[in-house]
Amino acid sequence: MSDLSAFAARCRALLGRAGVVDDPAEIERYTVDFWGQYRGRAALVLRPADTAQVAAVVAEAARLRIPLVPQGGNTGLVRGGIPDDSGTQVVLSLARLSRIREIDPFGEYLVAEAGCVLADIQEAARAHGRLFPLSLGAQGSCRIGGNLSTNAGGVTVLRYGMARDLVLGLEVVLPDGRIWNGLRALRKDNTGYDLKQLFIGAEGTLGVITAAVLRLFPLPREQVTLWLAIDSPTTAVDLFERARDRFGELVSSFELLSGFGVEAAVRHLPGARRPVPAPSPWHLLIEIGWSLRRGLRDFVEEWVDEVLADGRVAEGTVAENETQRAGMWRIREGQSEATRHEGAIVRSDVSVTPALLPELIDTVMVRTRELWPEAEPLPFGHVGDGNLHFNFIVPPARFAELREPLLALLLEEVVRRGGSFSAEHGIGRLKREELRRYRSEVELALMRTLKRALDPLAIMNPGAVLPPEDTA
C-alpha cells in the first residue's frame, strides 16, 4: 500500500465518511479558483469537524510526509488555496469548523472557528450590538480562517486596519500535529514574541488556523454613505485629505471607481443604477459613521455642499436609506463581476502611498493605451490606504499573451514609487516570482528560516508563497 493510500485509509478511520471526499467529481470544486481561471489536481479532500480532527490529520500527514493545502471558502485570487497540478497534494477544507464558540459584548470580542463565513460573524456581532468591521466583496462565502491566513483587507481598512489588526488570539495546529492554544482575549499581553502574527498572512504555510479571538467594536448608530462624481484621481486624493481633516477617524471607506467600471456595472449587474444622473470620468463612494444617534448627516451634507461649490465635483448624492446604500455598494463590489462581461480580466492588487495614486493611475493608463490600445485599464479601490485593484480588460483570445506584459508595466511603475505588488491578496502560487524579484535577500532568508523551523518536512501548503526549492 502506498503512503497516500495508507493516509487515505487512516483519515477515513479518523474523520468518518463525511470527512473524506475521494470522488473525482466532488473533488473538482475544491481544485478550481473562484473565477474559474486556474485549476489544480488533488489526490483527496479532507473535511475535519473540529480542531482535534485537524490535529490528528496533520499528525498523520507529517508521519507519512503527505502535502496538505489548507482551504477556507476558496475565494482567494492568487491560487493559494487550491493545489498544484501534480495530483499528489491533499486539500484540507476547514469548512466544517463553523461554530462561534463565544461572544462577549462587554469585552468586545468573539471566538470563531476557522470555517465560519465572514458574513455570519458580522451578523452574530450585530445581534449583540457590536461590529466586526472586516468587510469585502466575498464576505458571503469567504471564511475567517482564510481571511486571517491571507491577512485580508477590504473596504474598512482606513478606520479599522487589516485582518491582523482585528485578532486578539489564535488557535493553530502546527505542522507536526500539535495544537497551540493562543485563544487569549487580552488587549495587552507583552509576554515575548507575538506568535499569532506568524500565522496571520502566512497562507497556511506555517500551520493551520483553526479558531480566532476577534476584536469587536461599537456599532455605528448613524452612518452616512455618499457618492460623488468627480473629474480625476487627483481630485479624489484632494477630497480624501479634506474629508479626513473634517471627519478624522469617522471616515471608514473612501473608494475610487472609474467611469468605465461604473457604466459596466450599470449595464451588466441586475438592478444596478448609477447613483448620479450622468456618466462621469471618475466616482467616489464614501462612508462615514459615528456612535452618536443623530447629527452626522447634517455635517456631511454641509461638507458635500462645500466640495460641490469647487467645481471639480460634478454631482453628489447621499443615500437616503439602506436600499440606496446597498445599491451604491453593489456597484463597487460588483466591478469584477460586471467587467468580465466586457472581456477577460487581468487582475492585480497593488499599493502606493495615497499621495502617489494619481501619478500611478495616469502613468499606467497612458502607457497602456499607447502600447496595447485593445486593453482597457480598470483601476478601482481604496484611496485612503493607497490600495488599488488595477485590473485590465482584454480580449479573451489575447489574455495569455497580454497578462504578463501588462502586469510587468504596472509593477514597474508601482515598485518605482516604493509600492507593493500585493497589498491584500497575498502571494499564493501566482506571485512567487514577484516576491523573489522585489523582496531583498535578507527578507527572503528570514522567510525561509521561519518556514524551515516551523515546517521542516515542507508539508504545509508547499509551493505557496515560497517556491518548493526554497523550502527543501
Q: Per the domain annotation, does 464 fall within a domain? A: no
Q: How far apart are CA 108 and CA 287, in angstroms?
A: 23
pTM of the predicted structure, to 2 decimals: 0.95
Give the DSSP letter string of 166-215. GEEEEEEE-TTS-EEEE----S---SSS-THHHHTTSTTSS-EEEEEEEE
Cβ within 8 Å of residue 115, ≥6 positions away: 72, 94, 95, 96, 97, 98, 143, 144, 145
Q: pLDDT digits over 79-106, tens only?
A: 999 999 999 999 999 999 999 999 999 9
Q: Could you tell me the residue range of the domain that residue 133 belongs to?
A: 100-218
The answer on 298 and 198 residing in a single domain is no
- Residue pair 271/324 in contact (Cβ under 8 Å)? The answer is no
Residue that the C-alpha cell 490606504 belongs to: 385
**In the prediction, which pLDDT does 38 show?**
87
Q: Per the domain annotation, does 452 fall within a domain? A: no
CATH for 407: 3.30.70.2740
The answer on 235 and 266 residing in a single domain is yes
The answer on 25 and 59 residing in a single domain is yes
In terms of Cβ atoms closer than 10 Å to its own Cβ (0-12, 13-18, 19+), residue 322 is exposed
The answer on 106 and 168 residing in a single domain is yes
The answer on 128 and 49 residing in a single domain is no
**Taking the chain, what is the end-to-end CA distance rounded to the nearest angstrom?**
26
CATH for 158: 3.30.465.10
Phi, psi for 99 (deg, rounded to 5): -95, 140
Phi, psi for 322 (deg, rounded to 5): -65, -30
Q: Per the domain annotation, does 457 fall within a domain? A: no
The answer on 117 and 168 residing in a single domain is yes
Q: Per the domain annotation, does 440 fall within a domain? A: no
Q: How many domains does the chain have?
A: 4
b/e per residue 279-312 (b: at least 16 CB within 10 A):
ebebbbbbbbbbeeeeebeeebeebbeebeeeee
User: Of the candidates 84, 161, 58, which has an alpha carbon nearest to the alpha carbon of residue 464?
Assistant: 84
Q: How far apart are CA 149 and CA 156, in angstroms?
A: 18
What element of type H or E holds 303? helix 296-308
The answer on 9 and 51 residing in a single domain is yes
Q: Per the domain annotation, does 466 fall within a domain? A: no
The answer on 375 and 349 residing in a single domain is yes
Q: pLDDT digits over 350-386, tens only?
A: 999 999 999 999 999 999 999 999 999 999 999 999 9
The answer on 87 and 23 residing in a single domain is yes
Q: Per the domain annotation, does 402 fall within a domain? A: yes
The answer on 300 and 248 residing in a single domain is yes
Q: How far apart are CA 266 and CA 275, in angstroms?
A: 10
Q: Per the domain annotation, does 255 fall within a domain? A: yes
Q: How far apart are CA 305 and CA 152, in angstroms?
A: 35
The answer on 332 and 233 residing in a single domain is yes
The answer on 228 and 329 residing in a single domain is yes
CATH for 252: 3.30.70.2190
Residue that is last in its domain, among 160, 188, 218: 218
Helix 233-247 to helix 296-308 angle, to the nearest 10 degrees?
A: 140
**In the prediction, which pLDDT does 30 show?**
97
Q: Angle at the Cα of 158 (from 77 to 446), degrees rounded to 5?
A: 55
Q: Per the domain annotation, does 46 fall within a domain? A: yes
**In the prediction, which pLDDT does 355 show?**
97
**In the prediction, which pLDDT does 471 show?**
67
Residue that is last in its domain, among 47, 65, 95: 95
SS3 category, 413: helix
Please name every residue paired with 104 in a beta bridge, in sequence order, or none if there are none: 109
Residue that is last in its domain, among 316, 337, 358: 337
Listed as ranges, residues in the chain with pLDDT below 70 are: 1, 470-472
**In the prediction, which pLDDT does 98 show?**
98
